[in-house]
Amino acid sequence: MQLSIKHTGERPEGVRNIFLVKETSLLKDFGFNNEALAYVESRVEAKEKLITIQNYNIVYYVRVVADDEYNNKGYEALRKDGATIYSSLKKDKQSGVCIYDLIGDKAAMLALNEGVALSSYAFDKYKTDADEEQVKELSIWVASAAINQGDLDELRRLTNAVFITRDLVNEPVSTLDVEELSDRISELGAIHGFDVDIFNKAKLESLKFGGLLGVNKGSVDPPAFHILEWKPESTINEKPVVLVGKGVVFDTGGINLKTPPGSLDDMKADMGGAASVVGAMVAVASNKLPMHVVGLIPATDNRPGGNAIVPGDILTMHNGKTVEVLNTDAEGRLILADALSYSKNYEPELVIDLATLTGSAVMALGQYATVGMGTASDEVFQQLHEAGDCVYERVVQFPFWDEYGDMIKSDIADIKNLGAREAGAITAGKFLSHFVDSPWIHLDIAGPAFVKKDDSYRGSGASGVGVRMLYAFLKNKC
């Protein structure tokens, strides 16, 4: 989907119109007659907020904003109404819409725009019978004194970054193996201006990336480690923020093959953390945030072939610690551990990792929130919570008490890669804590990263979770 968002001072012809209002009487200035106004007011009295008026081929959408909606929850409702409007546009094969701001609230206008824009995503490249008349581009015009073209360009670039993440996650492993992932990351770096360095298997062996190499032993394709760096001439941070993303391009579970049947269906999405880091780097670089940001992405598939690791094996990790493998389906933490250890080279002010790591996180929160934990300060966690709440990619902070660390002690190695059935998301985080010394936040996005049913502007399949939250978090630091 090609997307354009333009500020306008004129009323474009041949497009549908959305009016964001508080006082319905203002609609008179846009040609609403008494009958139309009476209809809108009757719908408002019936507690409706999104009202559609259709007269043959002319369609107006009126979104009435209540006094209690000028907050994160209200802005999320506006995004969802934007998705509802886009669904109507798509059904009627409409490629243009103009949004009129009659309330003067920037956050509300951006939220409605964002809902329309994010809803325009579709992953249909493999549909051979796609409707030839299907709308392939969307043009949004915005008439608002509260927003300028710079605001809209930033939103468009952020939306594009989310779409890049969704594309990476939705792509099957047959067309997005590690080599192809490396190529796409390199291409995106060249387009958006961040540097990319990729370590091959020989380099990883010399650096003793025991976790990444261990997981890769069952694969016919070599692993790779990607370093993405955005460092503009003027930065506000002396030490970088490092983002780490789990890049398991397909996870069979290894020798501990996933069961029951059907549990493999969405395992192409096990590189959702890596894709979110790529999207975040695109958003940061394309919008030229004055922040030094580094992305680290270890990538492999997890297969049961060749000399695949088995339960009972001992791996020596990049930082020298030994790990007893109890379950080869707890592989994500093994490759993340090496990346977290490598992050020490940057002496970062903060490390944030994102991973579709545990079923425990899904069982705890479903698709509606991300599990968070770590060693960063309460102040930093609060900043992340605020960024997540703002874009409605919410984070629930789990306890990180020492007692959970006891659950991964090993009798024959430093630690083991699996705790008990209980508190699985937390013990996975405790495992990772052995490999990072800097202030650190672990985000388990297993629930919201890939959804099976349509979820408003997030769609179905890959949601792109993490990109908007990380961008808001980093932008707020500028």
Considering 333, 416, 430, 458, which one is annotated as catalytic? 333
Task: Please give the C-alpha separations between residue 449 and each of 58, 165, 175, 273, in angstroms, as whole numbers.
Answer: 38, 10, 20, 8
Q: Is residue 98 a contact partner of residue 18, using CB atoms and an 8 Å limit?
A: yes
Radius of gyration of the chain (CA): 24
Residue 124 structure tokens: 């249909």
Q: Is residue 146 a contact partner of residue 193, using CB atoms and an 8 Å limit?
A: no
Which is nearest to 227 in space by CA: 189, 175, 179, 272? Answer: 189
According to DSSP, residue 439 is labeled S
Rounded to whole angstroms, the Cα distance separating 220 from 177 reads 11
Residue 224, burial from CB neighbour count under 10 angstroms (0-12, 13-18, 19+): buried
- List the strands of the sheet with 322-324, edge to edge: 314-316, 322-324, 415-416
Considering 6, 184, 258, 321, which one is annotated as catalytic? 258
Our answer to whether residue 394 is catalytic in this structure is no
Our answer to whether residue 458 is catalytic in this structure is no
Rounded to whole angstroms, the Cα distance separating 443 from 446 reads 9
Crossing angle of the two packed helices 72-91 and 378-391, in degrees rounded to 10: 30
**346: Cα separation from own chain's centroid:** 24
Rounded to whole angstroms, the Cα distance separating 83 from 66 reads 19
Rounded to whole angstroms, the Cα distance separating 357 from 446 reads 6
Rounded to whole angstroms, the Cα distance separating 369 from 384 reads 13
Instruction: Return the beta strands (E) in 246-389 as ranges.
Output: 247-251, 293-302, 314-316, 322-324, 350-355, 370-374
Residue 123, burial from CB neighbour count under 10 angstroms (0-12, 13-18, 19+): middle
Both ends of the chain: CA-CA distance in Å?
31
Q: Residues 6 or more apart from 437 whose CB is under 8 A from it?
A: 344
Cite the active site residues.
Answer: 258, 333
